[in-house]
Structure 1
């Protein structure tokens, strides 16, 4: 929500909120699915909120997008086809398309998010929407994974929080359909919020992953505007990609010749070393 003093106050969690000063509103509109607001903030640059909840900022989006994209892609090593569920701002596609992939399919439910992101947040996508390898589908991601022929090496679920249109992307049925859409040895990664504040969100995802995958776990990164500490990313695969050694990762990064603001091969390995309060949310292997 936006209060009368010019602050955007996020009240996602009970008894705890954060506020970002609104220096200038660039966009404020209701779509069929949600209220979209873009505003300038002196610290974080342009900020996108959906129904009052911060989704992405110009200043710190690189941490989230790099970790949710490059961890599975470098761990896999030979990915050719990637599916992104959500990600309408284009940041996830931006990072994925830095790899020599054959195709990235992006399924976003709200065309309004894509269109205003192109206009008001062009630096987030950085030309990704013009890349011929990007197949943009305006559709319900949950319905898409039910019917797709699959064969994806990596599936990235860049969802909102499990309320409103994003709620269905946190169900056992969705995860089951997503697994079916993976190629052999494929990896499914998910946005799972801030476990200190939203522990059940990660625990629920990993309970489902534990029944679907031989390797079900999580990794973390600190994103300043996602309040409450480390952000968690769910990880599911039937392959051995999580055990790839740091030297191999370093060689893969060097081969691509890519530079990053947050991701490194060392950070990749360390991200799976979970703090105790998060590790307790990960089911023990059967």
Structure 2
């Protein structure tokens, strides 16, 4: 251990988590990001971007299942999907499991992230990049959503934290663009950090989304990789009928019909993820 390096995540100024680097696999600075990939005995391979952990082999399934199957099974008839970011391929992998989905557009700003993850994290995508339904576009998500004329049933913003080029995917303009890109019954979801340590980020996003969506919510999952408590996901839709259909029996029926297996997601997790701890509800009510 004396010869091994310790890597410190730097998302927060005065605290953070440390990882032992068992083996350094890759480290460089791309046009957009500083990237490091290394092996750790507890989490397997880890990728950090701009000194912030993005994904690990060990627990990535929690994040990716909750970002995709919550909106897909809530809607019940997703055909056209837009992924913003998601270069590691995990979101794409989970979407590709749904054979009723017809078209998948993925917009990633940095082709290098995709290529690195194909090499070092092949189980994240499991050949999903070869799916004939996929249209891959290398562009900034804000720019794409501003210019596209396409309409989507689901938009998933799988972004980095709001630092550097990631800031664009937390701007009010981006949320407005996404609202305009959605079909009238469409759903928008986005990662929104760990509330306990990123309270302002979550509240700011929530306020912005409420300007554009009748139904704005937060849901959550416990993901060990992301330091500081439960991970928050933002939800927005103008389809108010979805609330009436969000019940256990409907979800179980939809899930059963797909014959898919999951490692984290299930109908009860789906329902319970929208029930927030009181400290979050208090903060939202006070904002």
TM band (smaller chain): over 0.9
- Which residue of 256, 259, 264 corresponds with 2:258? 256
1:241 aligned residue: 242
SS in 1 for 2:10: strand
2:153 aligned residue: 153
SS in 2 for 1:196: coil
2:91 aligned residue: 92
SS in 2 for 1:229: coil
CA distance in 1, matches of 2:82, 2:238: 17
- Which residue of 271, 279, 287 corresponds with 1:269? 271
CA distance in 2, matches of 1:111, 1:63: 24
Q: Could you say if the C-alpha distance between residues 123 and 148 of structure 1 is closer, same or farther in structure 2, counting changes exceeding 3 Å?
A: same
Structure 2: 5+ residue stretches without partners: none
2:202 aligned residue: 202
2:216 is the counterpart of 1:216:
yes
Q: How far 1:283 moved relative to its partner?
A: 5.5
CA displacement, residues 240-280 of structure 1 (integer Å, 9 cap, x when unaligned) = 32442111000000000001010000000000000012223
Query: In angstroms, what is the RMSD of aligned CA positions?
Result: 1.2
Q: How far 1:5 moved relative to its partner?
A: 5.1
Bigger mean CA deviation after superposition, 5-14 or 19-28 = 5-14
Contact residue 190 and residue 233 of structure 1 kept, 8 A:
yes
1:228 aligned residue: 228
Q: Could you say if the C-alpha distance between residues 190 and 283 of structure 1 is closer, same or farther in structure 2, counting changes exceeding 3 Å?
A: farther
1:140 aligned residue: 140
Q: Could you say if the C-alpha distance between residues 283 and 153 of structure 1 is closer, same or farther in structure 2, counting changes exceeding 3 Å?
A: farther
Alignment length (residue pairs): 281
Q: Could you say if the C-alpha distance between residues 85 and 111 of structure 1 is closer, same or farther in structure 2, counting changes exceeding 3 Å?
A: same
* TM-score, reference length from structure 1: 0.96
2:9 is the counterpart of 1:10:
yes
SS in 1 for 2:225: coil
SS in 2 for 1:16: coil
SS in 1 for 2:271: helix
SS in 1 for 2:87: coil
CA distance in 1, matches of 2:285, 2:173: 19
2:58 is the counterpart of 1:59:
yes
* TM-score, reference length from structure 2: 0.95
CA distance in 2, matches of 1:144, 1:151: 12
Q: How far 1:207 moved relative to its partner?
A: 0.3
Query: Aligned ranges for residues 111-190 of structure 1 at < 5 Å?
Result: 111-190=111-190
Q: How far 1:103 moved relative to its partner?
A: 1.0
Structure 1: 5+ residue stretches without partners: none
CA distance in 2, matches of 1:30, 1:281: 38
2:102 aligned residue: 102
Q: How far 1:281 moved relative to its partner?
A: 4.0
Q: How far 1:39 moved relative to its partner?
A: 0.6
Q: How far 1:60 moved relative to its partner?
A: 0.2
CA distance in 1, matches of 2:98, 2:24: 35
